[in-house]
Chain A
């Protein structure tokens, strides 16, 4: 009985196998679950991915991992064994990227991670990160704090990897700048209230509070602080650089500071900013498909994946055929040797020693004025 079922499944799989010459890309995103706010915009941008690059048909296979690294691993396994993908895009959150990195290594498939992720040295070779690292993103915040005389800060962030990485980074950079972290409060993505945590922070009364949350979830803790009467500066991270923050936060987020990659404020970039043209292209195309004001940080990374593929694919095709290990190796080498590449989020420079790529100047500090993100002068 089981054998019969397996035979049917096999037949179906054979019927669904794609043609050999296409370039297969496996994409695992958190389209549902607590991190969906990050994954959905990425998914939306991938819907605009070109169907053909350098004369080869592109087969983009998108699967949801529901913010669960286990499912992400499952998706990745399916991609490398069943769909025989040439490159992996994913995950959209740190934990998933970290979980599938070993599979990228095992199967010798390059991985473009859409989340900042730290991996053990042996897996570093096959993993490239599209988003800016936490060090890069924390830099403008700490610089601004130094400039405006902030001496003490509080932390209100997620209990997960995103929160943890930011905490480590801010403690390091703030410490180096002589700023003390006086209070650390955590909350879960799924929490409906952060009042007790906000209460503790307000009574500690630091000069500034850093809220580390993502998408629409970043509004709740922010509002909690305002409701508890906190009067100091509030900083948000780049995962909150989305219209959702303003939509849900309303009046309460006015005047707060949000760090972001350049993509989100494309029009406000000075003319001589290298990413201006690309960023404007991204914003125009995305908003044409999804509505004015729908631009956000995460979709920008998906757009950048497109640029990388457009640059690297023609070279790799000269060296090997898609679907072979040599092709995957050629892609990896090509990405590593790509050199200075202009992405919507800044100038990317991956080297054999550095698979993060962005420099400290990439992050831009924005502030919310009348419901719009505006660059801080």
Chain B
């Protein structure tokens, strides 16, 4: 049933002009297609990547004005004007993205409002672009000798482009770069630790959204046959976001649903509201504003979540049997000095969190870092993996200095970690979360993903993911949504994900926290098994029993200082350690 939904929908939209429907319906349908293209970009940018943008209308303007100017001033064929418009939009997106995507939190949407306004006013005031009156007399699209006009002949082109774009986005989201983009929302730390550059993928999502908007603008210019600054201003930008949110900003088809609902109601309201209110004017904004607030309050997932409930879930496939294994890195020889933490220091203003702490991890060992709360254990971890910058000291990995490098570079060297608070993507399945770890070992890019050329590599990644899940005993849960798991299995999944990066050293930050007794035992068994297979581990832990039965060496920290180091037996016998935990003066 699900398999036929898309082809049926596509056929319906492409063949609509052949049916004896009124011309006005065709016009509306073309507008819906145009809007859906932009909303699609917003689904990718805002819904998936979590970057709210109010300025997409400005990119539509870039594509539209490029098409308008070149079509009226030069003899360039329409495909060339499309290429120019898209190129300009990409350029603008790269510049604006470089500037604004490093902004965090709520500063980004504010920046998009500002550059949307700035771009709009620029277009409205440039002499060559007709200023506030814009450019008139744009010819209708004529491709390969066929004049498409502005009605029934243009409709299939618009919808073909919109549907192809939607498919491309769907393919993109179900791929290696897609997983990276979907992970952006969960915060930068985990994503970077998997070797993924968050900035690069934010920029990618941003540029793709800009390209979609520019294509929409090109079509718009040839459809409306005139361009002026008004449709590319901040109000339209807000409206596009509204369409995406109403339809369901996290779902590709939400873009189409939202565009259709907004366009059709806007049209009806334009005639209805003045009659209702007794005066003429554009009152649709009232309804839109109110509906936006209501949707955010009561249905933040948008309308598609209601529709989506009716669609039967696709059966989970397992089609990667026999896939070739991913390349593994050469394991270090037993006993080689892997991690050398050398007098590291971290100061936050006047507070010294980590005070010249030194220890090391050799290949084939399990080292545990313990200490009372506030000792600085997680901070030390973050220093060693590049999440926090050092205030002093050095960290060496197999002889190389790694202090000051970004965490994704360190991840690529073979250091992988889990986190104190589980960082995962609840909307993805367990297997997809683990496959995220395989990012560094695969190569498919955005274009290959959109064209579905990455299937072979995907099978290899999923096979690897399943293997890692089997290693920790969770293979039968691989198709479940990660958000549905209880805490214990979530932690195990994080370990599987870290294993999928094929690390030489695994850093586990409180892996047993919040686990029940038998879950801890199972975890201890897994870790022992990993060590037997040659993996090296550095643990931070609170639970004494857990640690003592597992570790080869234990490092004890207190108030940022290293208290002592030794075998579990030595540490348990030490009076200083006991005093540190129980608080006796020493």
- Residue numbers of A with Cβ under 8 A of B are 1-3, 5-6, 9-10, 12-13, 29, 31-33, 43, 62-64, 66-71, 73, 77-78, 81-82, 94-95, 98-99, 102, 120, 158-161, 164, 188
How near does chain A come to B358, taking the closest CB pair, in angstroms? 64
Q: Name 21 A/B residue pairs within 8 A (Cβ), A-sorted.
A: A1-B307, A2-B260, A5-B264, A6-B25, A9-B264, A32-B282, A64-B270, A68-B231, A69-B134, A69-B230, A70-B230, A78-B24, A81-B27, A82-B22, A99-B226, A102-B225, A120-B137, A158-B132, A160-B132, A160-B133, A164-B131
Q: Which residues of B contact A164 (CB under 8 A)?
A: 131, 133
User: In the complex, which of the residues B131, B224, B270, B280 contacts A159, with contact meaning CB atoms closer than 8 Å?
Assistant: B131
Q: Which residues of B contact A5 (CB under 8 A)?
A: 260-261, 264
Determine if A62 and B307 form an interchain contact, defined as CB atoms under 8 angstroms apart. no
What are the 7 A-B residue pairs with the smallest beta carbon separation, nearest first? Answer: A160-B132, A68-B230, A161-B133, A81-B23, A81-B24, A70-B231, A95-B133
Q: Which residues of A contact B274 (CB under 8 A)?
A: 64
Closest to A43 in B: B280
How near does chain B come to A39, taking the closest CB pair, in angstroms? 9
How near does chain B come to A131, taking the closest CB pair, in angstroms? 17
Determine if A32 and B281 form an interchain contact, defined as CB atoms under 8 angstroms apart. yes
Determine if A81 and B137 form an interchain contact, defined as CB atoms under 8 angstroms apart. no
The winner among B22, B131, B225 for most chain A CB atoms within 10 A is: B131
Determine if A69 and B281 form an interchain contact, defined as CB atoms under 8 angstroms apart. no
**Distance A83 CA – B275 CA, assembled complex (angstroms):** 16
Determine if B226 and A98 form an interchain contact, defined as CB atoms under 8 angstroms apart. yes
Q: Kindly state whether residue B271 has any CB partner on chain A within 8 Å.
A: yes
Q: Which residues of A contact B136 (CB under 8 A)?
A: 98-99, 102
How near does chain A come to B361, taking the closest CB pair, in angstroms? 58
How near does chain A come to B336, taking the closest CB pair, in angstroms? 62
Q: C-beta contact mask, B13-39 vs A, less than 8 Å → 1, else 0?
A: 000000000111101000000000000
Size range of the chain B interface in the assembly: 20 to 34
**Distance A81 CA – B134 CA, assembled complex (angstroms):** 25
How near does chain B come to A111, taking the closest CB pair, in angstroms? 15
Q: A81-B22, A159-B125, A160-B132 are in contact. Are A66 and B231 (CB under 8 A)?
A: no
How near does chain B come to A160, taking the closest CB pair, in angstroms? 4
Q: Kindly state whether residue B468 has any CB partner on chain A within 8 Å.
A: no
**CB proximity to A under 8 Å, residues B253-271:** 257, 260-261, 264, 267-268, 270-271
**Distance A95 CA – B229 CA, assembled complex (angstroms):** 11
Q: Which residues of A contact B271 (CB under 8 A)?
A: 63
User: In the complex, which of the residues A12, A73, A159 contacts B226, with contact meaning CB atoms closer than 8 Å?
Assistant: A73
**Distance A77 CA – B260 CA, assembled complex (angstroms):** 18
Q: A1-B307, A78-B24 are in contact. Are A64 and B226 (CB under 8 A)?
A: no
Determine if A68 and B27 form an interchain contact, defined as CB atoms under 8 angstroms apart. no
Q: Which residues of B contact A98 (CB under 8 A)?
A: 133, 136, 226
Q: Kindly state whether residue B380 has any CB partner on chain A within 8 Å.
A: no
Q: A32-B282, A82-B22 are in contact. Are A77 and B226 (CB under 8 A)?
A: no
**CB proximity to A under 8 Å, residues B123-148:** 124-125, 131-134, 136-137
How near does chain A come to B280, taking the closest CB pair, in angstroms? 5
**Distance A99 CA – B137 CA, assembled complex (angstroms):** 8
- Residue numbers of B with Cβ under 8 A of A are 12, 22-25, 27, 124-125, 131-134, 136-137, 224-226, 228, 230-231, 257, 260-261, 264, 267-268, 270-271, 274, 280-282, 307
**Distance A275 CA – B517 CA, assembled complex (angstroms):** 100
The winner among B124, B230, B274 for most chain A CB atoms within 10 A is: B230
Q: A63-B270, A81-B27, A159-B131 are in contact. Are A68 and B228 (CB under 8 A)?
A: yes
Determine if A64 and B132 form an interchain contact, defined as CB atoms under 8 angstroms apart. no
Determine if B282 and A66 form an interchain contact, defined as CB atoms under 8 angstroms apart. yes
Closest to B27 in A: A77
The winner among A159, A160, A188 for most chain B CB atoms within 10 A is: A160
Determine if B27 and A70 form an interchain contact, defined as CB atoms under 8 angstroms apart. no
Determine if B228 and A95 form an interchain contact, defined as CB atoms under 8 angstroms apart. yes
**Distance A160 CA – B231 CA, assembled complex (angstroms):** 16
How near does chain B come to A282, taking the closest CB pair, in angstroms? 21
**Distance A87 CA – B134 CA, assembled complex (angstroms):** 26
How near does chain B come to A241, taking the closest CB pair, in angstroms? 22
Determine if B133 and A94 form an interchain contact, defined as CB atoms under 8 angstroms apart. yes
How near does chain B come to A32, taking the closest CB pair, in angstroms? 5
**Distance A159 CA – B133 CA, assembled complex (angstroms):** 9
**Can you add 5 more A-B contacts, CB < 8 Å, to A102-B136, A159-B125?**
A32-B281, A63-B280, A64-B270, A81-B23, A160-B133
Determine if A99 and B228 form an interchain contact, defined as CB atoms under 8 angstroms apart. yes
Q: Which residues of A contact B12 (CB under 8 A)?
A: 3
Closest to A8 in B: B264
**Distance A183 CA – B268 CA, assembled complex (angstroms):** 48
User: In the complex, which of the residues A33, A62, A82, A99 contacts B280, with contact meaning CB atoms closer than 8 Å?
Assistant: A62
**Distance A368 CA – B561 CA, assembled complex (angstroms):** 86
Q: Which residues of A contact B224 (CB under 8 A)?
A: 70, 73
Q: Which residues of B contact A70 (CB under 8 A)?
A: 224, 228, 230-231
The winner among B23, B224, B226, B267 for most chain A CB atoms within 10 A is: B226
Closest to A32 in B: B281
User: In the complex, which of the residues A9, A62, A63, A94 contacts B268, with contact meaning CB atoms closer than 8 Å?
Assistant: A9
**Distance A13 CA – B22 CA, assembled complex (angstroms):** 11
Q: Which residues of A contact B226 (CB under 8 A)?
A: 69, 73, 98-99, 102
Q: A94-B133, A120-B137, A161-B132 are in contact. Are A67 and B230 (CB under 8 A)?
A: yes
User: In the complex, which of the residues A69, A77, A160 contacts B131, with contact meaning CB atoms closer than 8 Å?
Assistant: A160
How near does chain B come to A291, taking the closest CB pair, in angstroms? 17
How near does chain A come to B64, taking the closest CB pair, in angstroms? 10
**Distance A1 CA – B5 CA, assembled complex (angstroms):** 12
Q: Which residues of B contact A77 (CB under 8 A)?
A: 24, 27
How near does chain B come to A74, taking the closest CB pair, in angstroms? 8
Determine if B137 and A159 form an interchain contact, defined as CB atoms under 8 angstroms apart. no
The winner among A32, A33, A70 for most chain B CB atoms within 10 A is: A70
Closest to B225 in A: A102
Q: Which residues of B contact A158 (CB under 8 A)?
A: 132
How near does chain A come to B142, taking the closest CB pair, in angstroms? 16
Q: Which residues of B contact A3 (CB under 8 A)?
A: 12
How near does chain A come to B376, taking the closest CB pair, in angstroms? 56
How near does chain A come to B193, taking the closest CB pair, in angstroms? 42
